[in-house]
Amino acid sequence: MTHFEEELKHLKHEMNIMFALVHTQLSKAKDAFIRMDKDLAREIIQTEKRVNAQELNIDRDCESYFALYNPVAVDLRYLLAVLKINSNLERTGDIAEGIARFLVVIEQEFDEDLLQSSKVLKMFEESISIMEEIEAAFENEDTIKARSIFKQDEIINKINREANERIAEYIRLKPDNVEQALYILSTIRKLERVGDQAKNIAEEIIFYVEAKVLKHSKKV
């Protein structure tokens, strides 16, 4: 194994750490949301510093490899993809942190009827699932699994599209709970962006493995 190959192996390890950090942040956000656990929410906010630090470490590594090794072909595509995937993961971490910051200021538990009608818990499940799938696709350089992300994102988008009507109906029935309803709607909007980030990562995996650019084109 050449020195550059060892460096790329180290970079993949660092990316696996980043994936795990962000996945954990999302899972904790769901747990904190269900239990209204403000201490766990504060932990998520604090851990976001580690996510940001890991993003910077990976970016610096990539910049060094470009300068030192002048990579070409698949190695070049891999480094370019990692830079973008790293950014997508950091943004996903921001989403988990944003949800946690909501939970810190909320004073009462969510109405069970609101949780059921809004499908926010389903949204959490789908968002965490799509992150698990895209993590596996990256680990195994699996473009078939990467392509399956586009269909999963459609499920998340559907819940998001239906949220306005569901929340509006809830507010008509329980106008005193409008603040809660708006918190839920904001959470759904944030989780919808998890699907967008996963879709972007899927495009980058296909790019570096198959040398196909899918951005701004019909997914195949």
Per domain, the residue ranges of the chain are: 3-210
Q: What are phi and psi of 72, to 5 degrees?
A: -135, 170
Closest CA to 31 of 133, 156, 135, 121: 121
pLDDT of residue 1: 77
Cα gap 180→201, rounded to integer Å: 32
Confidence tier at 25 by pLDDT (50, 70, 90): very high
Architecture of domain 3-210: Up-down Bundle (1.20)
Report the chain's mean pLDDT, rounded to a whole number: 95
Answer yes or no: are the C-beta atoms of 89 and 55 closer than 8 Å. Answer: yes
**pLDDT at residue 78 in the model:** 97
Give pLDDT, residue 212.
Answer: 82
As a whole number of angstroms, the distance between CA 142 and CA 133 comes to 10
pLDDT digits (tens, 9 = 90+) for 85-143: 999 999 999 999 999 999 999 988 999 999 999 999 999 999 999 999 999 999 999 99
Q: Is the pLDDT of residue 220 over 80?
A: no
What six digits make up the tokens of 164? 């306005």
What pTM was computed for the model? 0.94
**Confidence band (pLDDT; 50, 70, 90) for 214?**
confident
Task: Tell me the per-residue pLDDT of 164-182, one tens digit each, with 9 for 90 and over.
Answer: 999 999 999 999 999 999 9
